[in-house]
């Protein structure tokens, strides 16, 4: 598959990758390109911003979850109709699993997919040191893949001089600069950037940003670099599929908005009909559901409204008591418990199907990749079932469960997590479904069995 593509990496988090990527996506679309976009790593919010720009679901690419072959397939599959693919890196370019390896880093993703890299360098408070930084990144690995540089927060008055020095010292072309853009900054909170719905005038900001970048970046050089990417070799994995479809309710609103799009697409490929609903706004579940998925998000910010929607809470509780299969992650897990504190630490009544109370810790309770192994049968399969995922949360629970053992790769810290049974897996880990499609198929089969019991009583 011939797919022009480029990855934007950076020296560190906070270098402006997301804002710059969104501006470039908009500028490419304004030029008439059909664009696919991707985020490296286990990130939910950045793809939401990409999605707002391109008008189609942005995806995650993560070699920890999917290895080399499957990662290439997901890139190819989700770029089938695209003229160009834009990949946004994660953290610092070489930062990977365990903090001491390049595994699952932006660098590894670029290497695995053969994607040319443009390094974004925050030049605030720097001059000649920019050359030293670029030199270090390009020479740290002989196959760094870095084929261009963009300066962020650099004055146009000294740009040409800095460009000449860096190109002479490092042998890498500088493809433009981004001036200081105070009016275009995106606010952050405890789980990262705010969501796109909370940014006032987002589309106008993105349009204005694209116009600025058209003047300060060399788009012809960027597009030419993307077109130099080698052909992408990928093969489709064999997946199990249900004979009859099942209806799976997916909680999706401002409180429950953290989903890997490829997780949902995998469910569809296996025979699921996904029906979205809102625990915030809807008075009842969709009719004839065969299973539930409650994703992560910000239930703590909407705890009052979730508590006030007693009809929804009671109906979810009855459905789960009746054996409806359910997978709940992080915020969805907290929603199923007895109580949840809001950001002021005021308790609110939740569904009450699970024991435990969610409370605010004021710091990251868990952070990073996990390898999970079930200790007994759950909705994802028998004891010994393995899945990969990640955790990232400022809340904790008085009852995190013990159905799975979680282990951090490289550091090998181990703990128990997830409340689970034959029709349930609810806990803080966010599972990546492609890491074990058979486990996901087991969840859907549970849905088929539930539907049969319901319809033949």
CB 134 within 8 A of CB 151: no
The tokens for 351 are: 């569904």
CB 425 within 8 A of CB 330: no
CB 243 within 8 A of CB 216: no
Question: What's the chain's Rg over C-alpha atoms?
Answer: 23
- Beta strands 192-193 and 146-152: pairing type? unpaired
DSSP letter for each residue of 357-423:
EEEE-SS-SEEEEEEEEESS-BTTBSTT-EEEEEEEESEEES--BSSEEEE-TTT--EEEEBEEETT
CB 394 within 8 A of CB 456: no
Burial level of 301, CB count in 10 A (0-12/13-18/19+)? middle
Active-site residue, selected from the candidate residues 22, 330, 400, 417:
330
CB 252 within 8 A of CB 295: yes
| Half-sphere exposure (Cβ direction) of 232: Cα atoms closer than 13 Å | 34
Three-state secondary-structure class, residue 351: coil
CB burial readout 236-271, b (16+ within 10 A) else e: eeeeeeeeebbbbbbbbbbbbbbbbbbbbbbbebbb
Three-state secondary-structure class, residue 246: strand
CB atoms within 10 A of CB 32: 7
| Catalytic annotation present for 400 | no
Q: Which residues contact 359 (CB under 8 A, 6 or more apart)?
A: 341, 345, 395, 396, 397, 398
Pairwise CA distance, residues 161 & 75, whole Å: 38
Question: 3-state DSSP helix/strand/coil percent for the chain, to nearest 5?
Answer: 35, 25, 40
Burial level of 362, CB count in 10 A (0-12/13-18/19+)? exposed
DSSP letter for each residue of 79-101:
TTT-SEEEEE--SSTT--GGGTS
Positions annotated as catalytic residues are: 330
């Amino acid at each position: 598959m011939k797919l022009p593509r480029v990855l934007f990496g950076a020296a560190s988090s906070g270098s402006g990758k997301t804002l710059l990527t969104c501006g470039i996506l908009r500028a490419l679309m304004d030029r008439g390109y059909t664009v696919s976009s991707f985020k490296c790593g286990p990130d939910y919010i950045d793809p939401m911003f990409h999605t707002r720009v391109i008008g189609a679901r942005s995806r995650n690419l993560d070699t920890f979850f999917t290895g080399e072959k499957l990662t290439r397939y997901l890139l190819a599959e989700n770029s089938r109709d695209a003229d160009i693919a834009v990949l946004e890196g994660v953290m610092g370019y070489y930062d990977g699993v365990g903090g001491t390896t390049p595994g699952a880093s932006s660098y590894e993703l670029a290497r695995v997919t053969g994607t040319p890299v443009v390094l974004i360098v925050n030049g605030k408070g720097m001059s000649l040191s920019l050359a030293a930084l670029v030199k270090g990144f390009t020479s740290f690995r002989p196959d760094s893949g870095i084929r261009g540089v963009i300066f962020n927060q650099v004055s146009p008055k000294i740009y040409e001089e800095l460009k000449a020095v860096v190109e002479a010292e490092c042998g890498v072309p500088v493809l433009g600069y981004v001036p200081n853009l105070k009016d275009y900054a995106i606010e952050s909170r405890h789980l990262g950037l705010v969501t796109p719905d909370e940014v006032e005038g987002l589309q106008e900001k993105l349009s204005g940003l694209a116009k600025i970048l058209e003047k300060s970046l060399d788009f012809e050089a960027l597009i030419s670099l993307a077109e130099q990417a080698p052909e992408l070799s990928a093969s489709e994995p064999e997946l199990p599929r249900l004979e009859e479809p099942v209806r799976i309710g997916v909680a999706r609103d401002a409180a429950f908005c953290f989903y890997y799009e490829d997780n949902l697409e995998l469910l569809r490929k296996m025979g699921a009909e996904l029906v979205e609903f809102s625990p915030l706004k809807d008075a009842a579940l969709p009719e004839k559901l065969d299973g539930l998925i409650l994703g992560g998000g910000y239930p703590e910010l909407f705890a009052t409204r979730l508590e006030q929607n007693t009809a929804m809470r009671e109906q979810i509780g009855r459905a789960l008591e009746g054996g409806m299969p359910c997978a709940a992650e992080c915020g969805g897990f907290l929603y199923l418990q007895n109580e949840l504190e809001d950001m002021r630490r005021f308790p609110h009544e939740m569904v009450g199907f699970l024991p435990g109370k969610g409370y605010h810790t004021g710091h990251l309770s868990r952070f990073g990749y996990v390898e999970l192994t079930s200790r007994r049968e759950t909705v994802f399969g028998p004891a010994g079932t393995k899945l990969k995922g990640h955790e990232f949360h400022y809340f904790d629970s008085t009852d995190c469960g013990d159905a799975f053992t979680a282990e951090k790769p490289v550091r090998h810290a181990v703990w128990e997590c997830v409340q689970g049974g034959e029709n349930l897996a609810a806990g803080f880990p966010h599972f990546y479904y492609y890491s074990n499609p058979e486990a996901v198929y087991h969840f859907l089969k549970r849905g088929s069995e539930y539907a049969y019991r319901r319809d033949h009583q």
